[in-house]
Structure 1
């Protein structure tokens, strides 16, 4: 776990990770001492939500820990430790009320440990309940107690209690209590320390660390605290964004609402990374296509469509990405019953084909476009694309592909009617190339009979392709017999 020096300089060490590699144990990012100086409003008003001000909390506040002593410490050692801690208040811009609460608790600790009889009673009380020292703290003194708990390394407890205190304050309505900024600051520091600890683990818990840093950032922003620390947290989140994004997207599908929200957050980060730098848009540091492949591995077809929808004006993406977009549109369209998505996919294929032709190269998307044409009920165009209409060549693609022709011929019982073979080609492409490419569709087979029976598909064919429902039904039967 990262060591956080006590006193004026509070430093959280955060391991810098490469998103496509294991955490580098020797690389560190420092949220430095200067950044941990949090300027907040000072106040001498009551510290907590009024509705709960008289309900004490039992906290695992250990007098030995807050004074950094052991049980063998002498009275003189207690006195020296108390003077050292009381004269070195945290330089976090806490209100005088919170600092006073901290001082009161420290004085209680010192008086207890300096009196041998009181110390024996204190230790005996702890032994009677399993060895854990506790202290009852009023709600008004909780902000000061949280500071001491944070200094003692009880970060998880500080976060839990801080969240609860802030939630109670919000539920009470009205203006935030004067101590809200102090509680938020302490919770934010605890979250930073928990993030550091997570990243120091052997596996490097990037997801948990980044979520804690985001929560810390939200607390600081909500209360207008520590602009320097905010900036360093933002920089750290930017460094970890690719790995964080992939770990969010790798969370289970079809899970509970919180998990779905986290995956949606991952998709939002992917958009920020892929479409360049700018306000709240970190640039992707690393091989773009490698990252794109990782994202596709963890996303559904519909998420891929969403990822590439509404791109910033002027965005240019590689042909391979565009082809992947088209596959996603086909897969999502089949499962949503949306022929419009298939038409969009065909437009992408046509654009890639045209761009390659302009560059003097060739993008062979004949099978893809022919399969989409069949799925949209345009069998005539599909055969033309494959070069099976007697014209001698596909649509702008030169001579037909011999391997494709051989496959169609082998799967056409009637040599004079290649449509059955074309449907077999389309079925294979859908089940292997399309559905096999996405997390939610891999291993599934498309229900093409239901596809062709869909009123939406039939209406699209009638209106856009001047085809008939009867021809759609014939298409479905052909798919079922292939």
Structure 2
């Protein structure tokens, strides 16, 4: 095997290191051998390779000749890299030195290759065990290097490759869990990486959107708390940056899918539809946005609905809705702009478009120009077809007409006389001329310091997701808006675990906690019973059996899907798992009406079995400490997520 490394880097010294320092480094490397569990054969091979490099570099003539060879390679136009030829008997020790030298990805690639036929070692041999351990450690280190370089998708692919390898080998469950945890932690960074790519990279962006939907589903919606690795403030900062990488249509599609269980998504869908309709001159989209906003039942949105009525040409309805929904503070501001109600509404609508509707989309470059909007032929055709103004707006006889004159407009010209080729909107010209638009102080979302990498932004800035209008405080993504409870789905008949019959002579034992768990404030015993029921069900599924309790009443779909995927992978290999888990301690750390987080200590043991039911590899026994998060959906407590506890 050829290792892509030279003697200096293998030993950990520079070409200028003197003999005494070189020998001291050699002894330190030998004394500090890795202790991750490699066999004595691998550690001995490592030591022999270190001594061989030190012997060469300690011999002055051989060292000078070797340095001359390295210099010649560096000057070769073919960019030839130095390499060391390592005998087969010492290649695992050489790969370990390659990992120690910081070349984790090279080590991972070579270890994977060595585990593939036809050079795969004998099953159950020490060589196989060392190569598998080396591949797992190199995968973790290589992914960490790629993460540091902000190559997030490459890091994720490396972790996935390592997981597939270790699952095929059926070894190292602890390292597999680490790989899973690292892969889960990379998800938001991968979303940033993939969605920030050019719009022509369709497959990459589609994968980014899929990961984003998975991330939101794992949380339980935009306002959910199902992901303990990202608190509400951190997620809000992340999502605020993500929005600037999404096109307006992507936002319409995403928010519309999330809207049934998220008030914030419902509001954002209406905003995105309005932005699309205004920028692309498609009033039918604004009509859909208005219907969505009206159906939401949210308080304080009447001024926004009034703006949408205005953009649809429904002037009288817009005036009435604004008058009905504006609070005293907004009324005072509006009266300062003009004495005419329509002028007030136009000012409010333009500022709403400027601040909250048009910013925040990757592919939208639109000015909040009401005059240009109503001058568009498609807009005029829609207004005339659906709801022609019952009361004509001011004529454009004089573009310099003051607001005082506009407040008492002259009778407009005959609307039936259409001037061919004229693109102006006569009934808006005088209203929009020479107007200085106000700077309304909208409610702002206070964000925690951004922890996410600042990738190059698209042309539009990111806007805060806040509802417009004085007194309207729809802070999207924050925890102010709660999830709407989901109705129980089909096949979710509650199953209660009943206590066993008790002898008459003994005092009655306490009843076992009921499953499904529906208590408003579950005790630690009830939470532990729910977790034990899930662990029992998980063990049954991985053993190729059926769970006695439906999985959907124990855990959210993300956990169920993950379990079913693992079982499908085992089935493809003709394997099953025998798992034993016992909870030794459980302590609830966080609690609110919709979320419980608990730190749990467990004793874990597993054994893989082949298609004949014979054991494969050595059994695993571990002491684990995990953090489990339970969420309440529609009155039902279920496992939402878990990770290794700090």
Looking at structure 2, the residues matched to 429 and 77 of structure 1 have their Cα atoms a distance apart, in angstroms, of: 67
Do the aligned residues in 1 keep the contact of 2:10 with 2:50 (CA within 8 Å)?
no
Alignment counterpart, residue 445 of structure 1, candidates 354, 361, 367: 367
SS at match of 2:6: coil
Aligned equivalent of 2:240: 296
Is the counterpart of residue 192 in structure 1 residue 140 in structure 2? yes
**Partners of 1:57 and 1:138 within 8 A in 2:** yes
Which among 216, 221, 239 is matched to residue 158 of structure 2?
Answer: 216
Give deviations 1:333-379, integer Å, cap 9, x for gaps: 33344444423321333134x35xxxxxxx33233112111222323
Q: 1:162 to 1:184 in 2, by over 3 A?
A: farther
CA shift digits 1:24-75 (9 cap, x unpaired): xxxxxxxxxxxxxxxxxxxxxxxxxxxxxxxx96722327735999854899
Corresponding residue number in structure 1 for 2:180: 234
| CA contact 1:248–1:266 (8 Å) conserved in 2 | no
Cα-to-partner distance string for 1:303-331 (whole Å, 9 max, x where unaligned) = 54344231286x2435xx64444323322
Quote the residue 1:403 is aligned against.
332
Structure 2 contact 279–366 (Cα < 8 Å) conserved: no
Q: CA deviation at 1:426?
A: 2.2
- Greater RCO structure (CA 8 Å; 6+ sep): 1
| Cα pair distance change 1:80/1:452, threshold 3 Å | closer
Q: Provide the C-alpha distance between the structure 1 equivalents of 2:329 and 2:35, rounded to a whole number of angstroms.
A: 81
Task: Report deviation, 1:134.
Answer: 3.5
Match of 1:428 in 2: 351
Aligned to 1:40: none
Q: Distance in 2 between matches of 1:112 and 1:399?
A: 83
- Number of matched pairs: 373
In structure 1, the residue matched to 2:220 is: 275
RMSD of aligned Cα (Å): 5.7
Q: 1:342 to 1:151 in 2, by over 3 A?
A: same
- The 3 A distance-change label for structure 1 pair 402 and 256 is same
The 3 A distance-change label for structure 1 pair 338 and 189 is: farther
- Listed one character per residue, the Cα deviations across residues 179-220 of structure 1 (whole Å, up to 9, x for unaligned) are 599999756633422555688xxxxx5x83865652332112
Asked whether 1:124 is paired with 2:98, we answer no
* Mapped partners of 2:330, 2:24: distance in 1: 92
Change (3 A) 1:236 1:157: closer
CA distance in 2, matches of 1:92, 1:467: 81
Where do 1:371-390 residues align within 5 Å? 371-387=307-323
1:409 Cα deviation from its structure 2 partner: 3.9
C-alpha contact (below 8 Å) 1:66/1:106 kept by paired residues = no
Cα distance change of structure 1 residues 344 and 475 upon mapping to structure 2, 3 Å threshold: farther
Deviation at 1:256, TM superposition (A): 6.9
* 1: CA distance, partners of 2:22 / 2:58: 13
Q: Which residue of 1 aligns with 2:10?
A: 65
Greater helix content: 1
Evaluate the alpha carbon distance shift between residue 349 and residue 116 of structure 1 in structure 2; reply closer, same or farther with a 3 A threshold: closer
Structure 2 spans left out of the alignment, 5+ residues: 75-80, 122-127, 390-414, 433-646
